[in-house]
Amino acid sequence: MPWDTIKLNDGNKVPSIAFGTWKRGNGQESVDLVDLALSTGFDHIDTAQAYRNEREAGIAIRESGLKRDEIFVTTKYSGYDGLDVSTAIRNSLENLGLTYVDLYLIHHPSLAKPDIPTAWKEFEKLKEDGHAKSIGVSNFSVADLTILINSAKVVPAVNQIMVQPYVWAKTAPIVEFGNKHSIFTEAYSPLYSLTSQPGGPVDAPVNLIAARLQVTPEQVLLAWAREKVAGGIVITSTTKKERMEGYLNAGDILLTAADVQAIDAAGALGSKSLPRKVAERAGTLVAVWLGLYGLMAWSGLALEY
């Protein structure tokens, strides 16, 4: 199926593939890349305070010539400079040059201060005031989500988490829990096994499937991620126009059940045989790096999901 829009639990609609600005830096190069993504066909831009390129994304959005309702914009509360939630969203809107964002996320549960229920009430107020049409979370575990929904008036629309074969065994319960509570999963880093762990067990089935379907391995993994999040949202990124086109075309790729199972099995094998940091990455990396940002006073380093 193509990358259609999907309806969230609050009735709002979101494009099911997004161009992520993590690692895209800032300055004119970042503006040009977001502009290229929009002109190529992406209509969902994912950024965050911590990526330090909200302003650049906003410039590209305004210069695109597209109407506001033709672009879906996601940003995240990353605890930037110790700002409280209400101040942070105002800063993000100013940086983006927008009056609202389509989706606003808590970047990591460690940022929910003083606790998840209290922080979520602030997010509910942002939605009520119209600063964000939809609200959600990122990197939340089943335990985190349970705390949240037990006190929430508004169930989070999405949970943005790492979805790639080498961590799927740990990710699957989170996706399943979200599905039970109408919380869509947004899959980030779906290409991780190719870009950061080449040579692992996943390469073989992915390459075989790609050859059979006459597509690229990256397209196969994007199609796999879409299957694993049950028609949810996939976030990806690149600096090359031809790859952007390929990622968009991946929406037409139909994997068989056997294809998905082969990748799953290779991912499970790899989670045991590859370095331990691969299996642990999804659950710990954001918290550690966000902490480093605070200590280093935002020295200009790029935050990794």
Phi, psi values for residue 21, rounded to 5°: -100, 5
Minimum mean pLDDT among 105-119, 249-263, 273-287: which range? 273-287
What pLDDT does residue 301 have? 33
**How many structural domains compose the chain?**
1
For residues 73-98, average pLDDT: 93
Do residues 131 and 104 lie in contact, with contact meaning Cβ atoms separated by under 8 Å? yes
Do residues 42 and 74 lie in contact, with contact meaning Cβ atoms separated by under 8 Å? no
Residue holding tokens 């409280």? 84
AA identity, residue 94: E
Q: Could you confirm whether 51 is annotated as catalytic?
A: yes
For residues 265-290, average pLDDT: 56
Range of the domain at 63: 5-297
- CATH assignment at residue 193: 3.20.20.100
% the chain with pLDDT above 70: 89
Residue 141 in any domain: the answer is: yes
**d(Cα 161, Cα 301) in Å, to the nearest integer?**
21
Whether 295 has a pLDDT exceeding 50, the answer reads no
Residue 66 in any domain: the answer is: yes
Residue 164 in any domain: the answer is: yes
Residue 42 in any domain: the answer is: yes
294: nearest Cα among 101, 121, 108 = 108
What pLDDT does residue 272 have? 65
Give the sign of the dihedral formed by CA 125, CA 121, CA 178, CA 159. positive
For residues 191-217, average pLDDT: 95
Residue 304 in any domain: the answer is: no
For residues 13-36, average pLDDT: 91
Q: Which of 51, 77, 188, 305 is catalytic?
A: 51
> Would you state the structure tokens that stand for residue 239, as one six-digit string?
């600096």
pLDDT band at 305 (very low <50, low <70, confident <90, very high): very low
Q: What is the mean pLDDT of the chain?
A: 89
Residue 305 in any domain: the answer is: no
| 107 annotated to a ligand binding site | yes
Residue 303 in any domain: the answer is: no
Q: At a CB cut-off of 8 Å and minimum separation 6, what does 293 contact?
A: 50, 78, 79, 301, 303
Query: Strand, coil or helix: what is 192?
Result: helix
Helix axes 168-180, 276-295, angle to 10 degrees: 70
Residue 302 in any domain: the answer is: no
151-165 in b/e burial notation, b at 16+ Cβ within 10 A? Answer: ebebbbbbbbbbbbb
Do residues 169 and 271 lie in contact, with contact meaning Cβ atoms separated by under 8 Å? yes
Query: Strand, coil or helix: what is 282?
Result: helix
pLDDT band at 273 (very low <50, low <70, confident <90, very high): low
Whether 246 has a pLDDT exceeding 60, the answer reads yes
**d(Cα 48, Cα 104) in Å, to the nearest integer?**
9
AA identity, residue 174: I
Whether 299 has a pLDDT exceeding 50, the answer reads no
